[in-house]
Amino acid sequence: MKLSEWAQRNGVHYQTAWKWARDGTMPVPVVKTATGRYLVLEQPADRDGRAVAYCRVSSADQKADLERQAGRVVTAATGMGLTISDVVTEVGSGLNGRRPKLARLLRDASVSVIVVEHRDRLARFGLEHLSAALGASGRRIVVIDDAEVEDDLVRDMTEVLTSFCARLYGRRSASRRAKAALRAAREVA
């Protein structure tokens, strides 16, 4: 397949894919023809279904980060042996339950693996329940960078405080205010 087709299918800018091919850092096998054109060698699709990358940013100001996030997710997933068939990108808060592209992705039974960069790109909290529900139908979620917070209780409290602050103060400043509340609680203790 042509490099431009592969780039479009995987949510990577063509110039980024071209640089990867030129530098030998493409996450998939690529060959250079005698005319100088790069061709991506087809990889067998997963027999159990499709693997899809889900990338999300919170606001339109961060929209430029979506492409970089998609590139990191596709590269890491390919390194894990997964063939990404599609990249779904969305702009919306992690606290917002009305994300139409995520809902469509979760409803699609042909998607067997959903790959995300961080836990909070998919859901702020409740990822364990979502994982269990998908697991019941033979599907799974792969989190590439699953760096845990030092303490699960601290992570849970941060998520709950962020949710409450979002309802009180608006979604933009919720995370900042939740962290300030945690700092104040630590100082008192």
* Listed residue (12, 109, 148) closest to 70, CA to CA: 12
Helix (H, G, I), strand (E, B) or coil at 113: strand
**Burial label, 74 (beta-carbon count in 10 A; 0-12, 13-18, 19+):** buried
* Listed residue (24, 66, 63, 58) closest to 170, CA to CA: 58
Return left, alpha or beta for 115; rule: phi > 0 is left, psi -120 to 50 is alpha, else beta. beta
Among the listed residues 58, 59, 112, 173, the single catalytic one is 58
Query: Does the active-site annotation cover 110?
Result: no
Angle between helices 174-188 and 152-169 (to 10 degrees): 130
Number of neighbours of residue 101 by Cβ within 10 angstroms? 14
Residues with catalytic function: 58
